[in-house]
Chains A and B, each alone.
Chain A
Amino acid sequence: MLAIALFSYILISGILLAIPFEVASPYSSISSLLILNPWASFIRNMHFWSSQLFFILSLIHIYDHFHNKKEIGLKKGMAFRLSIGVFIIFLAMLSGFLLKGDADAMQARQIIKSLSLGIPFIGETLSTSFLGNGNDYQLIYVHHIATFTIFIAIIMLEHGKRIWPRSTDFVLTFFVLLFLSYFFSAPLHDNLNQSVKGPWYFVGFQEILHWLSHPIWTVLLVLILIVLIYIVNTGKEKLAYVSKRSLLIFTGFYLLLTLFGLFFRGENWELILPGQTNYEQSVLHSFKTERVNFRPEFSVEDSKEAPLVFGRKESCLVCHNNVQGFSNAHKPETIGCFSCHGGNPFATDKVESHKSMIRIPGNLKDSKQSCGTTQCHPDISQRLPSSLMTNLSGMISVDRFVFMEQDNPDLLTNIDQLSHSAADEHLKNLCVLCHLGNPKEETGPVNESSRGGGCIACHVNYDSKAEQAWEKHQQDVNDTLYLNHHASLSIQVTDVHCFGCHSRSGRISTNYEGWHETVLEPEEMPDSSQYRLVEGSRVFRFIEEDIHHKSGMECIDCHHSYELMGDGKRYAHEEDQEDVQCIDCHFDAEPKLVATNDLDNESALIASLRLGDISETEFLKTNKYEHALVNTFYANDSAFLITKNGKKRFHLKSPNPVCTGNKAHKDLSCSSCHSAWAPSCIGCHNSYDENEAGYDMQKNKEKQGSWVEYVGEFNAKLPALGRRGNKESYEIIPVVPGMVLTIDKASYTKSKHDSLIFLRLFAPSAPHTSSAKGRDCKSCHNNPVALGYGEGNLSFDIENGKGKWNFDAIYALEEYDNLPLDAWTGFLQNRSGIVSTRTDVFPFDIGEQKRILTVGACLTCHKENSELMMRSLNNFSELVKNRSQKCILPSWD
Chain B
Amino acid sequence: MNRRNFFELGVFGVLLSFVFFWRKLTFLNTTLLYSRSQKLLYNKNKIVAFFDDFIIVNKDGEPKVFNAHCTHLGCSINKMENGVLVCPCHGSHFNLEGEPIKGPAYKSLEQVDTELSADEKYIQITT
Q: Does A535 lie at the interface of the complex (its beta carbon under 8 Å from any beta carbon of B)?
A: no
Q: Does A329 lie at the interface of the complex (its beta carbon under 8 Å from any beta carbon of B)?
A: no
The residues of A that contact B120 with a CB separation of less than 8 Å are 597
With A211-B104, A382-B82, A604-B43 given, can you name 16 additional A-B contacts, CB distance below 8 Å? A106-B76, A107-B89, A110-B74, A110-B75, A111-B74, A111-B89, A114-B72, A115-B73, A128-B26, A133-B29, A212-B104, A267-B88, A268-B79, A269-B89, A378-B79, A601-B43
**A111 x B30 contact (CB < 8 A):** no
The residues of A that contact B105 with a CB separation of less than 8 Å are 213
The residues of A that contact B29 with a CB separation of less than 8 Å are 128, 133
**A114 x B73 contact (CB < 8 A):** yes
Give the distance in Å from the alpha carbon of A267 to the alpha carbon of B89 in the complex. 9
The residues of A that contact B76 with a CB separation of less than 8 Å are 106-107, 110
**B88 x A124 contact (CB < 8 A):** no
Main secondary structure of the interface of B (DSSP, over half): loop
Closest 8 CB pairs of A and B: A269-B91, A114-B74, A210-B90, A601-B46, A110-B74, A604-B45, A601-B45, A133-B33
**B90 x A107 contact (CB < 8 A):** no
B126 to chain A, nearest CB (A): 17
| Cβ contacts A378-390/B at 8 Å (1 or 0 each) | 1100100000000
Known: A110-B73, A600-B45, A600-B47. A378 touches B89 (CB 8 A): no
B39 to chain A, nearest CB (A): 17
The residues of B that contact A196 with a CB separation of less than 8 Å are 75, 88-89
| 9 sample A-B contacts, Cβ–Cβ < 8 Å, listed by A number | A111-B74, A114-B72, A129-B26, A133-B34, A194-B79, A196-B88, A268-B88, A597-B44, A601-B45
Specify which of A196, A597, A599 lies most central, judged by the most chain B CB atoms within 10 Å of its CB. A196
**Chain A residues with a Cβ under 8 A of chain B:** 106-107, 110-111, 113-115, 124-125, 128-129, 133-134, 194-196, 206, 209-213, 215, 267-270, 374, 378-379, 382, 568, 597-601, 603-605
**A213 x B104 contact (CB < 8 A):** yes
Give the distance in Å from the alpha carbon of A106 to the alpha carbon of B89 in the complex. 11
**B104 x A206 contact (CB < 8 A):** no
The residues of A that contact B65 with a CB separation of less than 8 Å are none
Q: Does B18 lie at the interface of the complex (its beta carbon under 8 Å from any beta carbon of A)?
A: no
B86 to chain A, nearest CB (A): 5
- In-complex Cβ contact of B73 among A106, A209, A211, A382 (8 A): A209
Q: Does B8 lie at the interface of the complex (its beta carbon under 8 Å from any beta carbon of A)?
A: no
Q: Does B106 lie at the interface of the complex (its beta carbon under 8 Å from any beta carbon of A)?
A: yes
**B45 x A206 contact (CB < 8 A):** no
Chain B interface extent, by class = 35 or more
The residues of B that contact A597 with a CB separation of less than 8 Å are 44-45, 120
Q: Does B81 lie at the interface of the complex (its beta carbon under 8 Å from any beta carbon of A)?
A: yes
**B26 x A374 contact (CB < 8 A):** no
**B79 x A269 contact (CB < 8 A):** no
Residues of B60-83 at the interface with A, using a CB-CB cut-off of 8 Å, are: 61, 69, 72-76, 78-83
**B81 x A113 contact (CB < 8 A):** no
Specify which of B45, B69, B105 lies most central, judged by the most chain A CB atoms within 10 Å of its CB. B45
**A270 x B91 contact (CB < 8 A):** yes
Specify which of A111, A114, A212, A269 lies most central, judged by the most chain B CB atoms within 10 Å of its CB. A269
Give the distance in Å from the alpha carbon of A601 to the alpha carbon of B22 in the complex. 49
B8 to chain A, nearest CB (A): 14
Q: Does B103 lie at the interface of the complex (its beta carbon under 8 Å from any beta carbon of A)?
A: yes
Q: CB-nearest residue of chain B relative to A210? A: B90
Specify which of A113, A125, A382 lies most central, judged by the most chain B CB atoms within 10 Å of its CB. A125
Q: Does B27 lie at the interface of the complex (its beta carbon under 8 Å from any beta carbon of A)?
A: yes
**A215 x B73 contact (CB < 8 A):** yes
Residues of B73-120 at the interface with A, using a CB-CB cut-off of 8 Å, are: 73-76, 78-83, 86-91, 103-106, 120
**A107 x B91 contact (CB < 8 A):** no
B82 to chain A, nearest CB (A): 6
Give the distance in Å from the alpha carbon of A270 to the alpha carbon of B93 in the complex. 12
Give the distance in Å from the alpha carbon of A173 to the alpha carbon of B34 in the complex. 46
The residues of B that contact A382 with a CB separation of less than 8 Å are 81-82
**B69 x A110 contact (CB < 8 A):** yes
The residues of A that contact B47 with a CB separation of less than 8 Å are 600-601
The residues of B that contact A568 with a CB separation of less than 8 Å are 82-83
Q: CB-nearest residue of chain B relative to A628? A: B45
Q: CB-nearest residue of chain B relative to A134? A: B33
A191 to chain B, nearest CB (A): 11
Q: CB-nearest residue of chain B relative to A270? A: B91
**A269 x B88 contact (CB < 8 A):** yes
Q: CB-nearest residue of chain A relative to B79? A: A374
B45 to chain A, nearest CB (A): 4
The residues of A that contact B89 with a CB separation of less than 8 Å are 107, 110-111, 196, 206, 209, 269
**A210 x B74 contact (CB < 8 A):** no
Known: A128-B29, A601-B46. A210 touches B91 (CB 8 A): yes
Q: CB-nearest residue of chain A relative to B28? A: A128
- In-complex Cβ contact of A124 among B30, B45, B81, B86 (8 A): B30
Specify which of B34, B72, B105 lies most central, judged by the most chain A CB atoms within 10 Å of its CB. B72
**B88 x A128 contact (CB < 8 A):** no
- In-complex Cβ contact of A215 among B22, B33, B72 (8 A): B72
Specify which of B23, B69, B75 lies most central, judged by the most chain A CB atoms within 10 Å of its CB. B75
Specify which of A211, A268, A270 lies most central, judged by the most chain B CB atoms within 10 Å of its CB. A268
The residues of B that contact A194 with a CB separation of less than 8 Å are 79, 88
The residues of B that contact A374 with a CB separation of less than 8 Å are 78-79
B5 to chain A, nearest CB (A): 18
A74 to chain B, nearest CB (A): 22
B32 to chain A, nearest CB (A): 8
The residues of B that contact A114 with a CB separation of less than 8 Å are 69, 72-74
